Amino acid sequence: MILVVDIGNTNIVIGIYRDDELIGSWRMVTKEKKTSDEYGIFLLNLLKYNDIDYKKINSIVVSSVVPNVMYSFENAMKKFFNIEPLIVGPGTKTGITIATENPKEVGADRIVGLVAAYEEYGGPLMVVDFGTATTYDVVSEKGEYRYGITSPGIQISADALWQRTAQLPKIEIKKPDTILARNTITSMQAGLVYGYIGQVEYIIKKVKEELNNENIKVVATGGLGRLIADETDAIDIFDPMLLFKGLKIIHDKNCKDKK
C-alpha cells in the first residue's frame, strides 16, 4: 500500500492506495509545532481506527508547501513506518516540464495537480485549485507549464472582512439565493461568492484571450472548489481527488519497484 500526503498551509490531506484504488482519505489541520512523535502516533491511530494495517504500507510520497513542518513529518515517516518518503521537488520525475522563469519557486502542490490533470485530461489545460490561495496554472498540449496566477483564497477573503472591520461578523461561506442582499450576513456572502465567481470567470477568459486559445480545458479542485464550479460554465471539470491522483502518478513514475 502507498501512503500519499499533501501538506498545505491550512490542512494536511492524507490518502491510502491499495494498488490503484484509493481506499481512504482524511485531513488534519496543519500545525507547525507538532513533533515527529505526534505526527507518527496520530497516523498510526488513524490507520488503526480504519482497520488498515500500517505494516502493509511499503511506500510514502509527500508534497508540501510548508517547509517548517517537513523536518518533523519526514522523521515521523522514518521512525514509525521505517520508510524513506519520496518528497516531491526538484529532480522528481513528473512528466511535466516546468518552463517558468524560476522553476524552483513553483509549489509542489501545483505540480502534483498539474501532473494528475494532464495525465487524465490531456492538454492544453488550466488547473484552478481553490486552496488557502486560489491558483490558476496553465499547461500546454506538450505538457509544458509556463504560466501561473495566484490570488487570495475565498477563506482568506472572508477572514479579512471580519478581522479588519469593527462591525462585520464572521460568516459561513455559501451562496445566497440572490445577489440583492437585505441584511449584513447575506450582503457579505453575496459579495464573497458572486464576486469570486466573477474573478474566476474573468481570469479564465483573460488567459484564453491572451493565449488565443478557446480550447483550453479548465479543471478545478480544492476545498471550496465545488461551491464555485457549480455556479459557472467557465469550469469544465471539478475533480476533488486531483492531488491524490497526482501523488500516486508521481510515485509510480519514481518508485517502479515498489508495490
| Secondary structure class of 217 (helix, strand, coil) | strand
pLDDT at 256 over 80: no
Domains of the chain: 2-87 (3.30.420.40), 99-106+123-242 (3.30.420.40)
197 vs 200: CA distance, rounded Å: 5
Cell numbers at 226, concatenated: 465545488
- The residues near 33 (Cβ < 8 Å, ≥ 6 apart) are none
91 or 142, greater pLDDT: 142
Closest CA to 235 of 134, 109, 95, 146: 134
User: Which residues are marked as active site?
Assistant: 109
45-95: per-residue pLDDT in tens? 999 999 999 999 999 999 999 999 999 999 999 999 999 999 998 889 999
228 vs 222: CA distance, rounded Å: 10
Give, as one character, the DSSP assignment of residue 169. P
226-239: per-residue pLDDT in tens? 999 999 999 999 99
What is the model's pLDDT at position 194?
95
What is the model's pLDDT at position 258?
54
What is the model's pLDDT at position 111?
94
pLDDT band at 180; cut points 50, 70, 90: very high
Residues shown for the chain: 259
95 vs 161: CA distance, rounded Å: 40
What is the model's pLDDT at position 257?
56
